[in-house]
């Protein structure tokens, strides 16, 4: 994450005092740690292997979620992805038919740091007719920022938050994120040109990074509020989802998490906190709160960006 915009240092100091007091109020007893699974970039994130369709990805992932009794899963939709993915509409229909919910991730997945408030709010609005057509709103209307970036200035951050309130949204914050989307396209490449060694490395590196960031997220919560919290895990529906999801669920169970819905988890008092922070890089709620308090995120494994990009970039020799 980057340093605070110098132009907003004075309001940040004021916000820090309020934040410190609020954090004390948030340090309340919590039940056993729960986690809600959420999926961004529906109908699909990343590349698909030849012969694979968006609806096949959705069907396989839904089968795992249902078999493992994962409750109340939300998928965050970018309507523009339907323009490039002809089978995406069927994938979304399957998602809703399975009893899962859809929420707003903007139409075009724009970075708020790169567009105006007006353009960003229009992107939210543009996504609504499709969402209402697929699943008329009956419960909480959830919104998640693309890239977890809530504004590179406080003015933009506050303006978009006000627009979200006007439109009836609640922000679906994230506390656990290890950029799982990185593995989707790499896995699709490795399926297209089978490479057992590369597939094994993808498997091991994914679970190692997930375990490290689950631990770091828990430590960050303890540093902030002195207690365990209920978490929201950010995932991305793509080529690797159905394959790795059973082992991710096993990992969560070994770590002592229990599965819950986004509504249940978001009752934790930490989700009422507003870091009141302008940031170009954004991040999870925990990362934002730590940055607002000028503290570092706990140590976590390095993300293997270059190695993932190289995986199966060329067909194996022979």
For the chain, the first-to-last Cα distance in angstroms comes to: 43
72 token code pair: 């109340």
pLDDT score at 318: 55
Q: Is residue 77 part of a domain?
A: yes
Q: Is residue 315 part of a domain?
A: no
Q: What percent of the chain has pLDDT over 90?
A: 84
pLDDT tens for each residue of 186-239:
999 999 988 999 999 999 999 999 999 999 999 999 999 999 999 999 999 999
| CATH number where 223 lies | 3.20.20.370
Do residues 42 and 102 touch, judged by C-beta distance below 8 A? yes
Neighbouring C-beta atoms of residue 166, cutoff 10 Å? 9
Q: Distance between CA atoms of 263 and 249, rounded to whole angstroms?
A: 20
Q: Is residue 138 part of a domain?
A: yes
Phi, then psi, of 136 in degrees rounded to 5: -50, 130
pLDDT tens for each residue of 79-123:
999 997 778 999 999 999 999 999 999 999 999 999 999 999 999
For the chain, the domain total comes to 1
Q: Taking Cα atoms as reference points, which of 106, 72, 78, 109 lies closest to residue 91?
A: 78
Given a cut of 70, whether residue 5 has pLDDT beyond it is no
Total-model pTM: 0.90
- Per the structure, the complete domain to which residue 208 belongs is given by 6-310
Given a cut of 50, whether residue 3 has pLDDT beyond it is no
Q: Is residue 121 part of a domain?
A: yes
Name the average pLDDT for the chain.
90
Q: Is residue 318 part of a domain?
A: no
């Amino acid at each position: 994450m980057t340093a605070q915009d110098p132009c907003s240092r004075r309001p940040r100091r004021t916000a820090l005092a309020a934040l410190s007091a609020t954090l004390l109020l948030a340090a309340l007893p919590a039940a056993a740690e729960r986690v809600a699974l959420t999926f961004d970039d529906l109908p699909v994130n990343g590349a698909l292997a030849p012969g694979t369709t968006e609806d096949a990805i959705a069907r396989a992932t839904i089968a795992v979620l249902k078999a493992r009794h994962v409750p109340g899963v939300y998928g965050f939709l970018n309507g523009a992805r339907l323009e490039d993915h002809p089978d995406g509409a069927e994938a979304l229909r399957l998602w809703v038919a399975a009893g899962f919910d859809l929420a707003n991730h903007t139409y075009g997945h724009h970075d708020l740091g790169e567009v105006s408030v007006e353009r960003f709010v229009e992107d939210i609005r543009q996504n609504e007719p499709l969402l209402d057509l697929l699943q008329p709103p009956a419960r909480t209307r959830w919104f998640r920022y693309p890239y977890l970036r809530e504004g590179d200035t406080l003015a933009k951050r506050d303006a978009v938050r006000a627009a979200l309130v006007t439109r009836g949204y609640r922000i679906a914050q994230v506390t656990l994120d290890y950029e799982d989307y990185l593995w989707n396209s790499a896995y699709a490449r490795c399926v297209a040109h089978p490479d057992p060694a590369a597939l094994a490395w993808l498997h091991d590196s994914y679970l190692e990074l997930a375990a490290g960031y689950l631990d770091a997220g828990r430590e960050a919560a303890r540093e902030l509020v002195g207690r365990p919290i209920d978490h929201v895990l950010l995932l991305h529906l793509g080529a690797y989802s159905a394959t790795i999801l059973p082992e991710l669920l096993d990992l969560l169970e070994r770590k002592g998490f229990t599965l819950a819905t986004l509504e249940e988890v978001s009752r934790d008092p930490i989700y009422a906190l507003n870091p009141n922070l302008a940031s170009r890089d954004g991040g999870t709620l925990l990362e934002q709160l730590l940055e607002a308090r000028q503290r570092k995120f706990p140590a976590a494994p390095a993300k293997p960006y270059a190695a993932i990009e190289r995986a199966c970039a060329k067909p194996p020799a022979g």
